């Protein structure tokens, strides 16, 4: 694919601009996912790493460092560490959600077993911290150790809150900040830190990653009620069938009549679902403008992400990151 | 329990000597296992942390630092980090092994669910790296990040090798070094590093931890074929029923007649077990002196652990660590 501003999507534009660095990340991923003793580790990892993800998170780290003039190699170490943390959380998520499909392919827990997914995920966590140690930066380790704790805290919160109708928008935001935005913001913040950026620029990139991650996750949750299976790599209504309270449902619950409330209690809290329930859920959400309201929230977070970039020096990559914020919500705009 | 050399077991002697530091570790564990957002995290952690484990690994870190004259607080941070890594691996192991009992109590995966065990384990990994970051020592982070990778590598190797009769003593040693000795040796090595010890002392304490961990695990594997349930917190023959090749079986397989080989293939490789098979396994192992040979190996590793302490300055704690090496194999001596 050629570099052509008029046809490239923002993400592809960023990939093309950072192609040399991304090639170095790819090589490092393949090198470090190896195991001297346990052949299953690279097998499981390669299944997921080779599954055609866009490597959005390592791109964010590379973009942050490069736009701030960084010349060394630590951003490649860091971007690989970020991708390993992401891969580890995917492996563990698929065990937790008992998923059978990711990115249109069978999950590792289905192809191998839950044991392999748990332990290979742990291995990748260990490997990611080894890579961070190689950067020699305690501050980078601090950022990513915090992110690792916040990610799993968000996932545990989701576990207990996702089927509880009392879960409101503020709890949803905590969950999303944990399970998605924490790694986005750590990726951009750590990229700025290795580049030796001043504090206001580090903060700007952290805020950008935070808002981008929230916009991304709200869009993802919206798509679950309206995207095509080939676009989203899962089936419409998966969250509903898995009884996972996401923003559109939370908004509909907040505005529910007594009868609607009984519907949500039966389908989400009790998990007693019938064939026509997904259609009924969509009708109720539409009646309250819940999908439209969630869509506006996603766009507002994308706008916040773009605005967060203002303190940063003007550059091609800064513009691409701004466009990327619009792009992650374009699927639902 | 009073400090009395004539009645205290080596481990209790160490606990009494380091009681102030262990109290600080206990307080830090309770502080850091909390979660602002997810109440399930401290619930699950407290179940395991409160289950009466001896906290052997954090003791090793404290002992190493204190015997080398360390005066600061970083060894408490580090010891807590080590215990969190250990707790995280226990949570994940119980999911992997589908265990129902640990230390005589129901496992977290049974009381809550696999999801909580996976995610709370991840949270504790993140928390442990935050604690290491607080020490400010990249070298300590290096040691423990390596240990984290090696631990899960050993577990994955066990997953694929444990039901394969081709697994020999060298593969067994790799597995044991990973799943047990890596954290023992990281605990002692990191304790020496925070104390600012010279390289030969750091190496001595790392080698001590390595040999102690191997001795400990061989003894544990032996007890599975001969300990009392109340002593070992699990039932005799669990490893056999779970088709886990451990040292006594590996030794018996190496010396097996054709008929015996068929027995191991049926019971371990195929998992086709009948009521009298455990007794038959014990008879075969006894006939080849397999338990006796494994027992000698455990004692030899304990002796190596004691010998590794030689380059260290003489001290009460050094003597206790030497006695501890004998103590971990005393259960099978």
Question: Residues 88 to 117 of A: which have CB under 8 A from any B CB?
Answer: 89, 92, 95-96, 114-116
- The CA distance from A280 to A283, in Å, is 5
CB contact under 8 A, A145 and B160: no
Given a contact cutoff of 8 angstroms between Cβ atoms, the answer to whether B63 and B208 are in contact is: no
Whether the per-residue pLDDT at B244 is higher than 80: the answer is: yes
Q: Which of A207-211, A240-244, B127-131 has the lowest mean pLDDT?
A: A240-244
Q: What percent of chain A has pLDDT over 70?
A: 94
Whether the per-residue pLDDT at A2 is higher than 60: the answer is: no
Chain B partners within 8 Å of A186 (Cβ): none
Chain A partners within 8 Å of B149 (Cβ): 123, 126-127, 130
Q: What percent of chain B has pLDDT over 90?
A: 74
Pick the most confident of B3-17, B110-124, B177-191.
B177-191
What pairs with residue A54 in β-bridges? none
Mean of pLDDT values over B98-112: 76
* Model confidence band, residue A264 (pLDDT cutoffs 50, 70, 90): very high
List of residues 6+ apart from B34 with CB closer than 8 A: B41, B42
Task: Report the sign of the C-alpha dihedral through residues A267, A270, A271, A272, in that order.
Answer: negative
Specify the DSSP element, H or E, that contains A106: strand A105-106
Q: What percent of chain A has pLDDT over 90?
A: 74
Q: Alpha helix locations (H) across chain A? A: 10-17, 19-32, 40-49, 56-67, 74-96, 108-111, 114-135, 138-161, 169-176, 182-194, 199-223, 229-232, 238-241, 247-254, 258-264, 277-287, 290-308, 316-330
Mean of pLDDT values over A154-165: 90
Chain B partners within 8 Å of A32 (Cβ): none
Q: What was the pLDDT predicted at B2?
A: 37
Whether the per-residue pLDDT at B230 is higher than 70: the answer is: no
Whether the per-residue pLDDT at A209 is higher than 90: the answer is: yes
Nearest Cβ partner of A156 from B41, B136, B145? Answer: B41
* Model confidence band, residue B108 (pLDDT cutoffs 50, 70, 90): confident
CB contact under 8 A, B148 and A114: no
Q: What is the mean pLDDT of chain B?
A: 91
- The answer to whether A166 faces chain B, any CB pair under 8 Å, is no
Chain B closest-CA separation from residue A136 CA (Å): 7
- Span A247-263, pLDDT tens digits: 999 999 999 999 999 99
Chain B closest-CA separation from residue A116 CA (Å): 7
Question: Which of A290, A103, A142 is CA-nearest to residue B134?
Answer: A142
Chain B partners within 8 Å of A140 (Cβ): none
- The answer to whether B174 faces chain A, any CB pair under 8 Å, is yes
Q: What is the 3-state secondary structure (H, E, C) of B38-101?
A: CCHHHHHHHHHHCCCCCCHHHHHHHHHHHHCCCCCCHHHHHHHHHHHHHHHHHHHHHHHCCCCE
Whether the per-residue pLDDT at B52 is higher than 90: the answer is: no
* Model confidence band, residue B94 (pLDDT cutoffs 50, 70, 90): confident
- Span A71-112, pLDDT tens digits: 999 999 999 999 999 999 999 988 887 777 776 778 777 777
ipTM at complex level: 0.91
Whether the per-residue pLDDT at A268 is higher than 90: the answer is: yes
Radius of gyration of chain A (CA): 20
Whether the per-residue pLDDT at B306 is higher than 70: the answer is: yes
CB contact under 8 A, B148 and A132: no
Chain A closest-CA separation from residue B323 CA (Å): 32
Chain A closest-CA separation from residue B322 CA (Å): 31
Chain B partners within 8 Å of A130 (Cβ): 142, 145-146, 149
- The CA distance from B184 to B157, in Å, is 19
- The CA distance from B85 to B83, in Å, is 5
Q: What was the pLDDT predicted at A3?
A: 38
Q: What was the pLDDT predicted at A96?
A: 80
Whether the per-residue pLDDT at A12 is higher than 70: the answer is: yes
Whether the per-residue pLDDT at A6 is higher than 50: the answer is: no
* Model confidence band, residue B19 (pLDDT cutoffs 50, 70, 90): very high
Q: What was the pLDDT predicted at B100?
A: 76
Mean of pLDDT values over B228-253: 81
Whether the per-residue pLDDT at B227 is higher than 70: the answer is: no
Chain A partners within 8 Å of B36 (Cβ): 153
Whether the per-residue pLDDT at B4 is higher than 50: the answer is: no
- The CA distance from A277 to A297, in Å, is 26
Nearest Cβ partner of A116 from B89, B122, B156? Answer: B156
Q: CB count, 10 Å around CB of B176?
A: 24
Residue of A nearest to B149 (CA): A126
Nearest Cβ partner of B141 from A115, A141, A154? Answer: A141
Question: Residues 12 to 71 of A: which have CB under 8 A from any B CB?
Answer: 35-41
Mean of pLDDT values over B141-168: 94
* Model confidence band, residue A54 (pLDDT cutoffs 50, 70, 90): confident
Mean of pLDDT values over B257-285: 95
- Span A271-287, pLDDT tens digits: 999 999 999 999 999 99
- The answer to whether B182 faces chain A, any CB pair under 8 Å, is no
Chain B partners within 8 Å of A154 (Cβ): 37
Mean of pLDDT values over B116-128: 94
- Span A289-323, pLDDT tens digits: 999 999 999 999 999 999 999 999 999 999 999 99
């Amino acid at each position: 694919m050629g570099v052509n501003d008029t046809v490239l999507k923002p993400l592809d534009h960023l990939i093309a601009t950072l192609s040399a660095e991304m090639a170095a990340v790819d090589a490092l991923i393949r090198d470090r996912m190896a195991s001297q003793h346990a052949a299953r580790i690279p097998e499981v990892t390669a299944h997921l790493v080779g599954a055609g993800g866009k490597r959005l998170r390592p791109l964010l780290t590379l973009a942050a460092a490069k736009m701030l003039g960084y010349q060394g190699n630590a951003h490649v170490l860091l971007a690989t560490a970020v991708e390993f943390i992401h891969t580890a959380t995917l492996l563990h998520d698929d065990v937790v959600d008992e998923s059978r499909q990711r990115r249109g392919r069978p999950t590792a827990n289905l192809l191998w077993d839950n044991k392999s997914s748990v332990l290979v995920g742990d291995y990748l966590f260990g490997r990611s911290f080894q890579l961070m140690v190689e950067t020699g930066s305690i501050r980078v380790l601090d950022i990513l150790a915090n992110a690792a704790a916040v990610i799993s805290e968000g996932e545990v919160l989701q576990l207990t809150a996702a089927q509880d109708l009392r879960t409101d928008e503020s709890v949803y935001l905590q969950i999303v900040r944990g399970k998605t935005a924490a790694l986005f913001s750590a990726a951009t913040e750590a990229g700025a830190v290795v580049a030796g950026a001043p504090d206001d620029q580090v903060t700007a990139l952290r805020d950008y990653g935070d808002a981008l991650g929230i916009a991304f996750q709200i869009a993802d949750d919206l798509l679950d009620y309206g995207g095509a299976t080939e676009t989203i790599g899962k089936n419409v209504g998966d969250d509903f069938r898995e009884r996972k309270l996401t923003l559109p449902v939370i908004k509909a619950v907040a505005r529910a009549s007594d009868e609607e409330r009984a519907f949500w209690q039966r389908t989400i809290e009790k998990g007693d679902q019938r064939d026509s329930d997904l259609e009924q859920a969509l009708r109720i959400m539409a009646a309250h403008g819940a999908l439209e309201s969630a869509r506006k929230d996603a766009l507002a977070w994308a706008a916040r992400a773009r605005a967060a970039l203002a303190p940063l020096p003007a550059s091609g990559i800064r513009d691409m990151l701004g466009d990327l914020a619009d792009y992650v919500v374009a699927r639902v705009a």
